[in-house]
Structure 1
Amino acid sequence: MNIGRIVYRILAWAFLGCIVIQVFLAGMATFGDPSKWLTHSLFVKIFAMVPLAMFLLAFIGGIKGRDRFLSLALFLLVVIQFLTVQVFSSVFVIAALHPLIAMLLFWGSIAAVRKA
């Protein structure tokens, strides 16, 4: 196994962990302490670029086909997540997609870990 695949696997696991933590922070803010929204909004900046790095590592690691583009899809979902809050927060129908996209990110990150 080459270094690209090893780092890809590490990042896939890290991204999955970050998604779980991010959902937990949202739950804390929703059901407990509203000040946790700041933590929720800042934490995502730590891991938002991980799927893009995974996509680039897929080339180095020889990951091909759909498996390669799964990480790109995860990155695009992260971008859409930002848009639902930053651009479309006043359009409630679009903003309401935010938790749905979080579910897709969770599912996609599990798929990435399994493929890695």
Structure 2
Amino acid sequence: MEIGIENKGASTGVDAANTQRLPIIVRGVRLFYEILAWAFLLCIIVQVFIAGLASFMDPADWEIHKMFVRIFALTPLVMFLLTFVGRIRGQVRWLCLGLFGMVIFQFLTVQIFTSAFVLAAFHPVIALLLFWGSVTTVKRIPRG
């Protein structure tokens, strides 16, 4: 079963023998991709926690919520670009681009669609989709 990486294997999608033959730069890029995938998932969790603090404890925390996202908003785009150097193909590559699209739409729900309440209401729904997409990305990290 191919999960979007160059080498195929039984469970991880990577043939252990072929992984050793990958150039060191490809292996390094894949490691960096893995670090970014985990960091993005962690940031999504922290961002939702901050929103919870702002909703239930102190509305001043909305400023932290707005500022924190700027730290990690471009991460899926960087991951998408890394898929080319890291020879990561298929669904995994396009999932990163989809996550970046959701981040953009997330910004739009706050910046542009706030007067259109129905569209603005998608903000927490997109947060759920970002979490789901981040978990899926982490589960499909290429090994090697």
User: How far 1:3 sits from its partner (Å)?
Assistant: 1.0
Which stretches in structure 2 are left out of the alignment for 5+ residues?
Answer: 1-18, 20-26
Q: Which amino acid aligns with 1:103?
A: L
Q: Which amino acid aligns with 2:60?
A: S
Alignment size in residue pairs: 116
Q: What is the distance in 1 between the residues matched to 2:28 and 2:81? A: 13
Q: Which amino acid aligns with 2:56?
A: F
Q: What percentage of aligned pairs have identical amino acids?
A: 57
User: How far 1:62 sits from its partner (Å)?
Assistant: 0.8
User: How far 1:4 sits from its partner (Å)?
Assistant: 1.2
Matched residue, 1:54: 79
Normalised by the length of structure 1, the TM-score is 0.98
Q: Does 1:8 align with 2:33?
A: yes
Alignment of 1:42-81 (within 5 A): 42-81=67-106
User: How far 1:52 sits from its partner (Å)?
Assistant: 0.3
Normalised by the length of structure 2, the TM-score is 0.79
> Which secondary structure state, in structure 1, belongs to the residue aligned with residue 114 of structure 2?
coil
Alignment of 1:35-46 (within 5 A): 35-46=60-71
Q: What is the distance in 2 between the residues matched to 1:76 and 1:92? A: 20
Larger Rg: 2
Alignment of 1:83-94 (within 5 A): 83-94=108-119
Q: What RMSD, in angstroms, separates the aligned Cα atoms of the two structures?
A: 0.7
